Structure 1
Amino acid sequence: MSQTEVPKKHHITESDPYKLDASDVQKAPTRFRERFKYLGPGIITSAMIVGSGELIVTTSLGAQAGFALLWMVIIASTVKVWVQLELAQWTIITGKPALEGYASIGPKVKGLGIINYAWIIMELCKALQRGGIIGGTAGALSILAPVIGEPLSGPSLAFWAIVTTLTVIAMMITAKYSVVERICVVAIVVLTAITVGLAAVLPMTDYAYSAADIASGLTFAIPAGALGFAVAMFGITGVGAEEMTAYTYWCIEKGYARWTGPNDGTKEWQQRAKGWINIMSLDVLVGWMISTICTMSFFTLGASILHPQGLVPSGNEMLLTLSNIYTSILGDWASTLFLVGAIFVLFSTVIGVAASVPRQWANTFGLMGLFDWKDMAKRKKWIRVLTVVIPSLWCISFLIVNEPVIMVLIGGTAAGIFLLAVVVAVWVLRTRDEPKVFRKNTVLNVILAVCSLLVAALAIYSVVKTFGIEIG
């Protein structure tokens, strides 16, 4: 059988992706071009990241602070990747998703570890963020096609929020991994082309940025009044605590762990594991490059165009403010282009989280003993039910709060705080569960340690500032 035929043979519908079976094992491809055929989880993660973090918070941060926080964008987009890599490596080696690893770290109550409860708190806060994303999508649709009142009126927003939610549920109720991957790939290609293209033409417009602007953003300073955005941006920009956790489920459903197979202690298993870990590392690298390029582009657009005009996105007028990025460069007609693009990007993000979050909550309920997670039929049933319930709760949160930017900031701050718990989990899991052969690279260990310290320090800083505690 040819290399290109293998994924079809090991398709998720023909075997349980969460069960390791020696009959499913296969070696990872070694040729560079062939490796790209096995990428995908990183693309889904990028789509989840870009929709709310980069489009809303990062652009808003650039609008409020100018180039002053460029350094934070770079750090936030880079240091967390190493923690993601280590957590995903643990998943490939053990065949378990992140939440099962968190549950193995005590103290435990009702089958869950303390980090699981931290995840639950974060997810409850994240519900507001996802409600904000649905609200942003509804806002764009309301402006393009107002119904039941004027654009951005309460009835119009409510109508489109409900339509958006029902559409997501209909698409995800029986969606497979391959469906989610295809949608996210298209969304990322379109988004990257438009955003990077706009940032690239800025030097030829009235909103050109200079080398001095870039240098001013690398001074490690936080302007007065921008701290809240900076903290939330660190939690949202780049791969966050939520995406790190979700990424392990996509690695499993893509097949990395199943193709590695159960650890039988042989050198052959070690070689397979190293091969699929290399594929996963390439997948993470591609996802990191995409999200970082988009992040830098969105921040540059906000700092170059919105900041000089004193325009800071807020409330339900957020999309109208953000559309100034397009109209300032291309003219008034580009407002429609922006709104269509915003709908596309935000909707793809909702698709990504609507696919991943029910899996994680189902896994959590399984760990609590409410059902047998290893029973694939029961697992699918729980995921389907939660796919209806959870997005509906996000929609309700938007209809009640109705402040997309604030809702996204709350979710981002919670994610920044949860990063500290993930860093602790990663070091416990790798030390306890991973064979020493996978921890021998001194250079990578040092990089992971430095990045973990940076993530932990910023997470602690997020905690104390969130609760109004003064440092020094």
Structure 2
Amino acid sequence: MSHKVGHEDVTDVPVGWRAKLRQIGPGIMAAATGVGAGDLVATMVAGSRFGYVLLWAVVVGTIFKIALAEAVGRWHLASGQTILAGWRTLGRWVLVYFGAYAVVWGFVYGATAMSASGLPLNALMPGLSVRYWAIICGIVGFLLVWFSRYAVVEKVMTVLVGIMFVTVVGTAILVTPNLLDTLSGFVPRLPSGSFVYVLGLIGGVGGTITMAAYGYWTMAKGWRSSRWLSMMRLDNAVGYVTTGIFVVAMLVVGSELLLGQQIVDDDEGLLMLGDILAADYGQWARIPFLIGFFAVAFSSLVGVWNGVSLLFADWWRTWRLPAGATDTGEDYDRKAGVRSPVFRGYVLWLTFPPMALLFLDKPFQLTVTYGVLGALFMPFLAGTLLVLLNTRRVPGEGRSGWVSNTLLTLCLALFAYLAIDELIGLFS
């Protein structure tokens, strides 16, 4: 059963496991969007250098992502406001930072996402160059997000997640991992030279600006008020546990096929893995893997085109609110969302201007700006959630307990360290 609130269908809270499983979707969207081809390469490189030893870091990273996304969803449901409305209460500087980040990040990420989607298609069908496959992927993603409601986008994303899960987990089973070695990898250890890779596995997989979009997808699903908190937590856990299994499978593949080899640390490293699969098992093993690679990249593209555009549309709405004005979920329904001109404008921004970067190397200044703003976002998200969810801005049932506060504090410390490390690397 559902009814209307503003422009959105608001669904009644499900009762029973079957009804709850039918509602799962936003968590799959958020988790799949946050895992891109670059994350797979990082996981593969970690597996090639350290084997199964760092599997425990994937588990820790999954727990951290569940904690962060749960906090985002909890803010939306318990406060009745969007995350941008919450950030607005912390000062206008927050909106300045987010607006600058979204504009620069979107321009660079648009080209990156399109290129990552074009690479496996070029490997499967080399008659067209990566550049033109990338443009086709960008346009297909644009049309899907421009003309489809949330329910359609969610179904497409769920299919892509199913494809990438089956192909990559299937590849992990194909390479017949050593079960004893695999189980030993869940015991925390830090071999020499592994610290940076551990931090990368914990902090990098599935951790991007798209985590902040989770609350908007719960709203689009029709989830409103604290009554949906238990459903949101189940949905969030299912999404990130699925992603965690997927990343474990990728690390197993890297450990079995690439241990001791030097891997090119970019998206083309995944194509190399496809070639190794073909040499060891035949072309029939390479093709499903490349299809899975495409599903990973294209699901990130579609998720960003939809989710970050929702964030940007709400940023514009929030920016224009008069000082002292009270913000409500109904105000968001009227002035933001997929029907707003700002949403559509940002989808255009993600798609067409970045195509110029497909024909050029990234300008140095743009790359540095992108790196600086991006490095700061995850500690910014963890820190602001710690503040917002421990104040009277949110009712008692939505405030953080000791478990959430502990995990968010650890996230803040981890992402702050990674940010400082990345900034040193950019300017050294």
- Residues 303-347 of structure 1, C-alpha deviations (whole Å, 9 max, x = no match): 221224x14144563342131463365323422232233223321
Residue range with higher mean Cα deviation, 427-436 or 318-327: 318-327
- The residue aligned with 2:237 is 285
Q: Which amino acid aligns with 1:209?
A: N
Contact kept, 8 Å, 2:62 with 2:240, in 1: the verdict is yes
How many Å separate the matches in 2 of 1:321 and 1:192? 20
Determine which of 208, 216, 222 is the counterpart of 1:249. 216
- The residue aligned with 1:264 is none
How many Å separate the matches in 2 of 1:89 and 1:331? 48
Report the structure number with the largest CA radius of gyration.
1
C-alpha RMSD over aligned residues: 3.3
- The residue aligned with 1:456 is 412
Runs of 5+ in structure 1 lacking a partner? 1-5, 18-23, 149-155, 261-272
Contact kept, 8 Å, 1:82 with 1:447, in 2: the verdict is no
How many Å separate the matches in 1 of 2:123 and 2:147? 31
TM-score w.r.t. length of structure 2: 0.84
Residue range with higher mean Cα deviation, 414-423 or 427-436: 414-423
Contact kept, 8 Å, 2:79 with 2:395, in 1: the verdict is no
- The residue aligned with 1:224 is 193
Q: What is the CA distance between 1:192 and its match in structure 2?
A: 1.3
Q: Secondary structure at the match of 1:96?
A: coil
Q: What is the CA distance between 1:296 and its match in structure 2?
A: 0.8
How many Å separate the matches in 2 of 1:41 and 1:306? 34
- Residues 172-208 of structure 1, C-alpha deviations (whole Å, 9 max, x = no match): 21221011100011111122122222223433xxxx3
Q: Establish whether residue 332 from structure 1 lines up as the match of residue 283 from structure 2.
A: yes
Contact kept, 8 Å, 1:140 with 1:339, in 2: the verdict is yes
Question: Residues 342, 447 of structure 1: CA spacing in aligned structure 2 closer, same or farther, 3 A cutoff?
Answer: same
Structural mapping, 1:124-143, within 5 Å: 124-125=104-105, 127-143=107-123
Q: Which amino acid aligns with 2:418?
A: S
Structural mapping, 1:385-396, within 5 Å: 385-396=345-356
- The residue aligned with 2:325 is none
How many Å separate the matches in 2 of 1:303 and 1:423? 32
Q: Secondary structure at the match of 1:419?
A: helix
TM-score w.r.t. length of structure 1: 0.77
How many Å separate the matches in 2 of 1:414 and 1:376? 24
How many Å separate the matches in 2 of 1:222 and 1:466? 22
Q: Which amino acid aligns with 2:306?
A: A
What is the identity percentage for the equivalent residue pairs of Structure 1 and Structure 2?
23
- The residue aligned with 1:381 is 341
Q: Which amino acid aligns with 1:318?
A: G
Contact kept, 8 Å, 2:379 with 2:416, in 1: the verdict is yes
Determine which of 173, 185, 204 is the counterpart of 2:146. 173
Q: What is the CA distance between 1:137 and its match in structure 2?
A: 1.7
Question: Residues 92, 284 of structure 1: CA spacing in aligned structure 2 closer, same or farther, 3 A cutoff?
Answer: same
Q: What is the CA distance between 1:79 and its match in structure 2?
A: 1.8
Structural mapping, 1:236-385, within 5 Å: 236-238=204-206, 240-257=207-224, 260=225, 273=226, 275-308=227-260, 310-315=261-266, 317-324=268-275, 326-327=277-278, 330-369=281-320, 374-375=334-335, 380-385=340-345
How many Å separate the matches in 2 of 1:459 and 1:324? 35
How many Å separate the matches in 2 of 1:419 and 1:436? 25
Q: Secondary structure at the match of 2:424?
A: coil
Q: What is the CA distance between 1:291 and its match in structure 2?
A: 0.8
How many Å separate the matches in 2 of 1:337 and 1:246? 30
Runs of 5+ in structure 2 lacking a partner? 323-330
Q: What is the CA distance between 1:244 and its match in structure 2?
A: 2.2
Q: What is the CA distance between 1:398 and its match in structure 2?
A: 4.2
- The residue aligned with 1:85 is 70
How many Å separate the matches in 2 of 1:128 and 1:296? 28
Q: What is the CA distance between 1:284 and its match in structure 2?
A: 0.6
Contact kept, 8 Å, 1:50 with 1:349, in 2: the verdict is yes
How many Å separate the matches in 1 of 2:205 and 2:138? 24
Aligned residues: 412
